[in-house]
Chains A and B, each alone.
Chain A
Amino acid sequence: MLQIDSLCIEFRQERARVAAVRDVSLALAPGECVGVVGESGSGKTQTFLAAMGLLGRNALVSGSIRFEGRELLAAATSELNRVRGARLAMIFQDPMTSLTPHLTVGVQMAEVLVCHAGLSWTAAKRKALDMLQTVRIADAARRMRQYPHELSGGMRQRVMIGMSLLCEPALVIADEPTSALDATIHVQVIELLAAMRREFRMAIALISHDLGAVHALADRVVVMYAGRVVECAPATAIFAHPRHPYTAELLRCAPNLSAARLNRMPSITGQPPDPAEVLPGCAFAARCARADARCRIERPLLVQSGGAAQAACHHPL
């Protein structure tokens, strides 16, 4: 249904070109949930912003993104607008900057339905209200009349989620949908996404730092590092047996309230490479315990690595 092939995204800067996404390919089947995890800044958001046609103006894109048979990268804006919001929806990482500040919650939600589903304002408002209740906004009728800045961070995030589900899209891209929510609502939102998925056979691309949420929801997991996919495997396999050293390190760092409190928070030492730099070898080499001379000169390709798993590493675990 969604097929991304050899996607490259570069940003023009005053002095340099920054490669944010380098040769990324991935596919989503109808009703499938793919978890996308990885380093902050590794290109997760940009990959999917490209599908939405929402990249910054200084972006240079190549490759292909097909959705329900249509090439999105070549599509005219009017066609994209029809697809976006109706068939393809995105929940953003940053709810405050993606809600319209001068419209009330109710008006911006109803507007989506009026524009994309052709509903009357009255019907649209009724449906918007139902949706706010579905995403567990207390006192939904009154919240409809408020502006985004009058809501807490968690409430804004739930409004965004509700808004994205209004037109019952075929694919929802959820970029960090739970990072602003407390644990109890967090659990409810994950359940909500799971229920919507069962009900509408909706596919989900879940971009998240929350490995627990990915574990609960995803069928498959894609791990990104420095603009590339470094591992891709069924969720059960990746959590039980990560192949790429970066994936293993990421899992080691997952916070765990059930375990004893540690003196230091686990972390990966060192920094990801500067995206403006072009490295010949593996981008993780400077931080990897298994790195050898070959890793520094020859870039590993994404290849089959046991069962259905793929990893880009010369010395997989």
Chain B
Amino acid sequence: MTPDGVLQVKGLSVQFPRRTAAHPPLMAVLDVSFVVGPGETLGLVGESGSGKTTLARAILRLVPAASGEVLWQGLNLLSMDATRLRRQRRDLQIVFQDPLASLDPRMTVADILGEPLDVHEPRLTADARQARIAAMLDQAGLSAGLRDRYPHEFSGGQCQRVGIARAMMSNPKLLICDEPVSALDVSIRGQIVNLLVDLQRDRGMAMLFISHDLALVRHVSHRVLVFYLGRLIEIAPRDSLFAAPMHPYTRALMAAAAPDRPGQILKGEPSSPLEPPGGCAFRDRCTHARELCAGSVPRLEEISAGHFVACHRWRELPD
């Protein structure tokens, strides 16, 4: 099988050193493995601070990984030299969570969109370059009159459209979206998501879609990953996850988003990644926790076709 357009993450861990050497490092991402196929959208949800952004950044080598592999079309991005990495990076683009902070304040929108073209298609004529920029502005729902404006002159929503347009300029094969629409109002959110879904279908682009909006994740994703304190705790095809979430945290998350769903209402503090509890990381807050949950970290087990969950007691949980 040619691994064309396949992203494979294997045993990836990311840690951040602590200022005082006496403390162990903060484990932001711990032994995470998954695959994204060509044209597939993988949703990623989880507690705030659970390592979603860090995972995205580590895949693109924007933060160093402590261990593991990131295979893009069969090549390990983590061990690649800078020149080859740059060539691959054209295929892999990211849209950040923080719209304003991720745009260069001294560049106009036209400059921002032109930059990826200058890097990846330097032989483009000036006219063709302008045409590409104009077409992208239109597709992203930005009026042509905005092209000479600077990022700080935009509302949060407009900034995020610019971020998406910039990422799309180099025709990526994999687009990582880190909360791409949380700054947008719901009507534009719909437009942008429909745009992303269309682009994905037309260009066969794969997506890793990070969001706190579960209705949105359900809308765009083929499969969904759930994170808790740096670990993958559940992974399943979309319909299976939303119809029958298994992990107690996943259930709590859905109950919080849709009060008519069953699941415990989460009380207490989210646990700290600075001092994660031993065993199951969720056990401090889990109403189903028993002694064995403190004993060892639960491993992912397949409970139905393609649906994996990391919980010692999944067999005993109520339906």
Chain A residues near B (Cβ < 8 Å): 11, 13-15, 18, 37-42, 45, 56, 93-94, 96-97, 136-139, 142, 145, 150-155, 176, 179-188, 209, 211, 249-250, 253-258, 261-262, 264-268, 271, 274, 276
Contact of B185 among A11, A39, A94, A180 (CB under 8 A): A39
**Which B76-112 residues have a C-beta within 8 angstroms of A?**
97-101
Contact of A257 among B252, B257, B271 (CB under 8 A): B257
Complex-state Cα separation, A291 to B132, whole angstroms: 34
Chain B residues near A (Cβ < 8 Å): 16, 19, 45-50, 53, 97-101, 141, 143, 145-146, 148-149, 152-158, 179, 182-191, 193-194, 212-216, 218-219, 242, 252-254, 256-258, 260-261, 265-266, 269-272, 274-275
Chain B residues contacting A145 (CB-CB under 8 Å) are 19
Identity of the chain A residue whose Cβ is nearest the Cβ of B99 in the assembled complex:
A94
Contact of B100 among A94, A154, A187, A258 (CB under 8 A): A94
Given A40-B156, A93-B183, A151-B49; A181-B194 close (CB under 8 Å): no
Given A153-B179, A267-B191; A94-B257 close (CB under 8 Å): no
Given A14-B148, A255-B213, A255-B216; A209-B48 close (CB under 8 Å): no
Complex-state Cα separation, A182 to B38, whole angstroms: 28
Beta-carbon contact of A267 and B179 below 8 Å? no
Chain B residues contacting A41 (CB-CB under 8 Å) are 154-155, 157-158
Chain B residues contacting A261 (CB-CB under 8 Å) are 218-219, 242
CB distance from A168 to the nearest CB of B (A): 23
Give the most central of B154, B187, B189: most A CB within 10 Å.
B187
Chain A residues contacting B254 (CB-CB under 8 Å) are 183, 257
Chain A residues contacting B157 (CB-CB under 8 Å) are 39-41
Complex-state Cα separation, A262 to B190, whole angstroms: 11
Complex-state Cα separation, A186 to B272, whole angstroms: 18
Contact of A258 among B53, B149, B252, B258 (CB under 8 A): B258
Contact of B179 among A180, A188, A264 (CB under 8 A): A180
Chain A residues contacting B186 (CB-CB under 8 Å) are 209, 211, 250, 253-255
Beta-carbon contact of A152 and B53 below 8 Å? yes
Q: A184-B252, A267-B190 are in contact. List 4 more A-B contacts (CB 8 A).
A: A41-B155, A152-B53, A258-B260, A267-B189
Chain A residues contacting B155 (CB-CB under 8 Å) are 40-42, 45
Beta-carbon contact of B156 and A265 below 8 Å? no
Give the most central of A142, A183, A276: most B CB within 10 Å.
A183
Given A93-B156, A139-B272, A176-B156; A267-B187 close (CB under 8 Å): yes
Beta-carbon contact of A97 and B101 below 8 Å? yes
Beta-carbon contact of B183 and A184 below 8 Å? no
Complex-state Cα separation, A155 to B26, whole angstroms: 15
Complex-state Cα separation, A261 to B258, whole angstroms: 14
Beta-carbon contact of B48 and A155 below 8 Å? yes
Beta-carbon contact of A276 and B145 below 8 Å? yes
Beta-carbon contact of A136 and B185 below 8 Å? no
Chain A residues contacting B182 (CB-CB under 8 Å) are 179-180
Beta-carbon contact of A253 and B143 below 8 Å? no
Beta-carbon contact of B212 and A183 below 8 Å? yes
Beta-carbon contact of B219 and A136 below 8 Å? no
Beta-carbon contact of A255 and B215 below 8 Å? yes
Beta-carbon contact of A182 and B191 below 8 Å? no
Beta-carbon contact of B53 and A182 below 8 Å? no
Beta-carbon contact of B275 and A257 below 8 Å? no
Beta-carbon contact of B184 and A184 below 8 Å? no
Give the most central of B158, B186, B270: most A CB within 10 Å.
B186
Chain B residues contacting A268 (CB-CB under 8 Å) are 187-188, 190-191
